[in-house]
Chain A
């Protein structure tokens, strides 16, 4: 960093001075008296003179604090002593940062304050990433965790000057946490999730910030977490570290399901895009969310008339731009023209005739690695896009989805082609994409429930029916919760004689399977 001669020593001295002043009984409320004196010292020593010097000052301070923490970790015998020693300096440093931010620029000019905050957060993130790089397995999160969470708490105190810049403060922290996402800083992952799920953090982003303006940022952080976990969750056996992180993630999702179900409803699509297909319980948990003002009829009610429910024609909010994920643009164009004109048939035959390869040219095929044969986001986007177009066209005709109204349409053509022509893995993922829309009573649930039943009823091979059943059943045998739409679809499938469900070989392929079906049937017939 080729710091100017003497600056490190001067910075260390100043930091120690501040720590001492901070801990004096007469430091004043929120250390305001101590700060007054200290700012004078800082000016005297010229560390506030230029932007570059300020940057160097914070970087050096951060490094000193980190060093002190590592030394405490190495020398103190108990966790309590480590923390009291490390926090002695860390908390004082955080207070200094908070005071400098609150007093930077003139009182009602938030820009300079937020700029300074971004600078400091950037420095802390930079030091952390470098530290992780250098120390490798010896890296410890303590100092960074403490600095970030305490600074967050300090800057979310109910003070006039902070209220006016709160959204920018939240944005700055979310941006920093995105930079420090587990994929980038795996050694910080547990502390990261602790911060992201801290009650004040959740409260600010998901509850207090008006117009749900914090939701998108929070969703992005969860997606960061799912993306990191995904490769490790594909293994049948979870290692202890992954299992701990997974369990923690479930806890956070449970809190969100209980307190902010609408948030999970709005962002379910983006979450399902990055959750591996074999994470059935976690995905069910997200799909089970339903708006708090909605009363769900018992799915086991005999003769439940789903299509009579008032909400069944309402489209749910989907805040992910899934249509934009259909790439390349030519694919989208061809798709739109086929949906509109039900032609050219070659579009379907392309699908049908060269399903794997062709599909690859349509980017549905990504790489030959097992389990990675398909571009899942594209497949999911395709399914939801075609579905939403279909719902729109049905509703413009004043109709509502049913087995009769959804059939013989360009939309069903697409679904039929994919069901028939994809290989078993592709078909499994395709059916999962549909099943991901079986949620609380809404037009998507209704339509895709009909699509699945229609695919079952019109299947030209038992393999399709078997795989539809497989996807539904594996989502049912997992521990609770279960999405409402999943239950009503499966109940309809096994109850309605039109599907001749019980005649199929795969229903009786093994005593365990038979027993499962019977127990589900018993509970709903």
Chain B
């Protein structure tokens, strides 16, 4: 067999090194490119909201500049008049909007915190926001779980849906 690094023995060395230190052969064995934060299955072009080579997420809708008639550009005129962003003043609807449209951004986290403060809880596995339906007593409650009727926020239909659930506390996100 070929004795140097250009034959199978060389490849074997590669593979064995990879098992001990994958960083050493990251170029040859590569990495899972689907983890680079690009939606490679998107039917839409990616470059339109490409967040840049260092970003883990695409741009949010509001980051993308579109050229609109200048008359639309009101921010220059009113920006000093707008109140600063204070999430505790906003309705839940807007908080959900901020949560779902600011992926990978501090704003997503801030919205999450405000929802938490309003007794919403994020179910890590269901990946849904839930809250107890006011006035509905729980059917069961222990130190680790409870069962009852909850409002779940359905982002697809953008509305709250009542649902009977068995909720284990450890599956709920703590305070963000």
Contact = CB atoms under 8 A, between A and B. Distances in A.
Is there any pair of Cβ atoms, one from A and one from B, under 8 angstroms apart in the complex?
Answer: yes
Interface of A: 25, 29-30, 153, 157-158, 190, 193-194, 197-200, 202-203, 206-207, 233, 236-238, 243-244, 246-252, 254-255, 258-259, 278-282, 284-285, 424-425, 427-428, 462-463, 466-467, 469-470, 473-474, 477-481, 505-506, 509-510, 512-513, 516
B32 to A, nearest CB: 6
Q: Please list the 6 inter-chain residue pairs (A to B) with the smallest Cβ-Cβ separation, ordered nearest first.
A: A281-B30, A248-B53, A479-B30, A428-B6, A424-B6, A259-B45
B7 to A, nearest CB: 5
Most buried by A among B2, B9, B15, B49: B2
Contact of A512 (B12, B23, B64): B12
Contacts of B45: 207, 258-259
Given A285-B33, A424-B4, A506-B1, A280 B12 contact: no
B7 A29 contact: no
A258 B46 contact: yes
A184 to B, nearest CB: 19
Given A203-B47, A207-B47, A248-B53, 10 more contacts: A25-B77, A190-B53, A251-B53, A424-B4, A470-B7, A479-B33, A509-B8, A513-B11, A513-B12, A516-B15
Most buried by B among A251, A255, A282, A480: A251
Contacts of A428: 6
Interface in B38-56: 38, 40, 42, 45-50, 52-54
B27 A278 contact: yes
B155 interface: no
B128 interface: no
A481 to B, nearest CB: 8
Contact of A463 (B7, B48, B76): B7
A426 B42 CA distance: 41
Interface in B51-71: 52-54, 59, 64-65, 67, 70
Interface of A is mostly: helix
Given A254-B33, A255-B38, A281 B28 contact: yes
A503 to B, nearest CB: 14
B54 A280 contact: no
A457 B131 CA distance: 69
Contact of A250 (B9, B36, B50, B65): B36
A463 B2 contact: yes
Contacts of A474: 11, 14, 28
Nearest to A281: B30
Nearest to B25: A236
A173 B95 CA distance: 42
B27 A280 contact: yes
Contacts of B37: 251
Contacts of A479: 29-33
Nearest to B53: A248
Contacts of B4: 424-425
Interface size class of B (residues with CB under 8 A): 35 or more
B27 A282 contact: yes
A469 B12 CA distance: 12
B27 A233 contact: yes
Contact of B40 (A207, A254, A463): A254
Contacts of B31: 281, 479
B19 to A, nearest CB: 8
B15 to A, nearest CB: 5
A254 B38 contact: yes
Contacts of B8: 466, 469-470, 473, 506, 509, 513
B127 interface: no
B29 A259 contact: no
B50 A202 contact: yes
A207 B50 CA distance: 14
B26 interface: yes
B49 A248 contact: no
B49 A424 contact: no
Contact of A198 (B27, B52, B70): B52
Contacts of A427: 6
B21 to A, nearest CB: 8
Nearest to A474: B11
A202 B1 contact: no
A504 to B, nearest CB: 9
B10 interface: yes
Contacts of A248: 53-54
Contacts of A244: 54
